[in-house]
Structure 1
Amino acid sequence: MRNLFLPLCIVLLLNSCEKSEMKLDIPSTVVSPEKVASAEYVVEETPPPQEVSKEPLSDENKPAQVSVSPKKIDTIAKKVIKNGTMKIQVGDIKKAQNQVAGILKKNNAYIQNEQFQNTDMDDNLDLVIRVPHKNFDALINSFSDGVGSVLSKNISSDDVTEEYTDVSIKLANKKIYLEKYRDMLRNASTTKDMIEIQETIRELEDEIDVAEGRLRFIDDRVNYSTLNLGLYKEKVRSSATSKIGFGSRFADSVTEGWNSFVTFLLGIISFWPFLLLIPLIILMWRKLKACKKKPQQ
């Protein structure tokens, strides 16, 4: 029995050791789920980068682009449009015109439009002058001092900085949208989407052209001021040559009387169909009168 007991004890000890080793191996199997859990946690963190990558394609990113545009407000210089009108009385139109040409050349200005009118009372030369913004005041002073007697002068300034800034910001945003729609057009999968995107692109391009044209117009008006200059010369009238004297008025009265008579005569002639009825009426009246006399005889 003792010989059998010892082997049994040894077998039991070995079995207990194997069970203990199995229990010790269990934690190793528990650790692996934690690793899996940690791996799953890492996977859960990956979607945010994907969502960030999608944001530039969404409409929410468009206002973010606009945030860059306020920097342009500080870079835009003040935009002021200056305009003026002057009327100057001169002794000689030709001499004054030569003086004006010299002043324009000195101030790098030019004549945009010229109109001359010669009447019985006076001569008028109207000029539309464009002059660089920085030389506008010097040009006005030159005309006031050396050309003639200033009859009237009106100078105005219009600050268009706010309008220019607003148009510039909208133009920048439209260009951003245009590039995004062009990217969408390259990635369009259906014909319907392509047609709709192309129509939107066409509208944006038209709006961009209008905005750029408006900015060019404002820049032109700001860089070159406009002056409407009128040169006026009153003609000298004498009793011998004046056309408003008695002789001229008498001749005009005779002419007007003759014209009135011709008009009256032509008006009567225009009633010629009614004049043909007068002989007919007279003939009928005589016949009626003759018929009344016959019973008396």
Structure 2
Amino acid sequence: MKNKTLLLFVVLLLVITAGCVEPKETPGPNNLGVPSKSFESPLQGKVTGDTGNAVNIIDRKIISTASLTLEVKSVEKASNEITKIAEAGQGFISGSSTDDSGGSKNAQMTIRVPQKNFYSTVEQIEALGTEKSRQISGQDVTEEWIDVGARLDNLKKQESRFHEILKNASTVKDVLEVERELERVRGEIESLTGKMNYLNQSVEMSTITVNFMEPAPIAGEGWGITEALREAAIGFIGSVNGLIVFIGYILPIVVFIALIVLLARWVKRKVLPWLKQ
């Protein structure tokens, strides 16, 4: 009886103790120790994503381009100023051309400047003349950049594994197969590395294309007698040229017809009387 009473007392004590212990909180998605995905706006320029237990913060990869059309007083002076602006913005001239065959001189220049100096450079160039058109665009290549980087990492891991397999290859056939796979992987690595370099350079160095021209000359006022005489002379010469060309086309036909007529007359006068006799 005493043993039963003691056992009952111990059971009650354990029940009371368990009820007094504060229950542990069930871990939810936010307290498992794994960060959740979050994306900041493009203006903030950050992308936050989870990769296992680590958080990678990546700057957005934006390729910025601008196209400007300006009317300037002097194309030569504007060209020199644009060159100075590009150099001051740690950039360079990647291409230029000029043309003055249309009556007014015009030119085109393409400059590359670091992304951080893109907008300030655009503003400085716009101040050189009267703006006729302006187009600015930004291409977000963040996802492409991440994808290329991930593929590169995987290919480099494959390359390392193939090197390990090559060390343990025991037959010529195995060696040749592994080397063939290594060559393929290296080719893909080189291709993706080139693409990654291109993306990085395009993001780091923005492109600005500037078309600028001088005002079109205004025609002088007055009777324009000299101009009228010049146009009349040009018209007369053109008419004479046209007449000569026409005669050149029609003359062979006239000669041919004349020969036929003369032949017919000769036949009529000489041949027909002879046949009648």
**AA of the residue aligned to 1:163:** E
Encode CA deviations 1:212-243: one digit per residue, 9 max, x unaligned. 00011111110010000011102424448x9x
CA contact (8 A) 2:73 2:214 kept: yes
CA contact (8 A) 1:76 1:165 kept: no
User: Are residues 1:221 and 2:202 paired?
Assistant: yes
Equivalent position to 2:110, from 119, 128, 132: 128
- 1:141 offset after TM fit, Å? 1.1
CA contact (8 A) 1:69 1:169 kept: no
Equivalent position to 1:157, from 115, 138, 147: 138
Q: How many residues align?
A: 224
Larger Rg: 1
CA contact (8 A) 2:86 2:112 kept: no
Equivalent position to 1:291, from 266, 271, 275: 271
**AA of the residue aligned to 1:123:** K
Measured in 1, the distance between the counterparts of 2:74 and 2:181 equals 61
Instruction: Please name the residue that 1:81 is paired with.
Output: 63
**AA of the residue aligned to 1:176:** K
Measured in 1, the distance between the counterparts of 2:79 and 2:71 equals 12
Encode CA deviations 1:57-79: one digit per residue, 9 max, x unaligned. xxxxxxxxxxx977898243210
- 1:140 offset after TM fit, Å? 1.1
Instruction: Please name the residue that 2:73 is paired with.
Output: 91
Equivalent position to 2:120, from 134, 138, 155: 138
1:74 partner SS: strand
Measured in 2, the distance between the counterparts of 1:91 and 1:262 equals 47
**AA of the residue aligned to 1:293:** P
Measured in 2, the distance between the counterparts of 1:71 and 1:113 equals 48
- 1:173 offset after TM fit, Å? 0.4
Encode CA deviations 1:9-62: one digit per residue, 9 max, x unaligned. xxxxxxxxxxxxxxxxxxxxxxxxxxxxxxxxxxxxxxxxxxxxxxxxxxxxxx
Q: 1:192 to 1:250 in 2, by over 3 A?
A: farther
Q: 1:79 to 1:266 in 2, by over 3 A?
A: farther
Gaps of 5+ in 1: 1-67
Equivalent position to 2:159, from 178, 199, 206: 178
Measured in 2, the distance between the counterparts of 1:258 and 1:189 equals 93
Instruction: Please name the residue that 1:22 is paired with.
Output: none
Report 1:249-260 matches (<5 A).
249-260=231-242
Give me the identity figure in percent: 25
Instruction: Please name the residue that 1:9 is paired with.
Output: none
2:98 partner SS: strand
Q: 1:150 to 1:141 in 2, by over 3 A?
A: same
- 1:98 offset after TM fit, Å? 2.8
Q: Which moved more, 1:100-109 or 1:113-122?
A: 100-109
CA contact (8 A) 1:115 1:125 kept: yes
CA contact (8 A) 2:86 2:121 kept: yes
CA contact (8 A) 2:96 2:107 kept: yes
Q: 1:257 to 1:173 in 2, by over 3 A?
A: farther
- 1:267 offset after TM fit, Å? 5.4
Instruction: Please name the residue that 1:109 is paired with.
Output: 91
User: Are residues 1:199 and 2:195 paired?
Assistant: no
Over the aligned positions, Cα root-mean-square deviation in angstroms equals: 3.2
Q: 1:204 to 1:238 in 2, by over 3 A?
A: same
Gaps of 5+ in 2: 1-49
Report 1:11-50 matches (<5 A).
none
CA contact (8 A) 2:63 2:139 kept: yes
- Which protein has the bigger helix share? 1
Q: 1:254 to 1:221 in 2, by over 3 A?
A: farther
CA contact (8 A) 2:118 2:206 kept: yes
Report 1:59-78 matches (<5 A).
74-78=56-60
2:65 partner SS: strand
Instruction: Please name the residue that 2:100 is paired with.
Output: 118
1:122 partner SS: coil
Q: 1:277 to 1:266 in 2, by over 3 A?
A: closer
CA contact (8 A) 1:85 1:229 kept: yes
Q: 1:247 to 1:89 in 2, by over 3 A?
A: farther
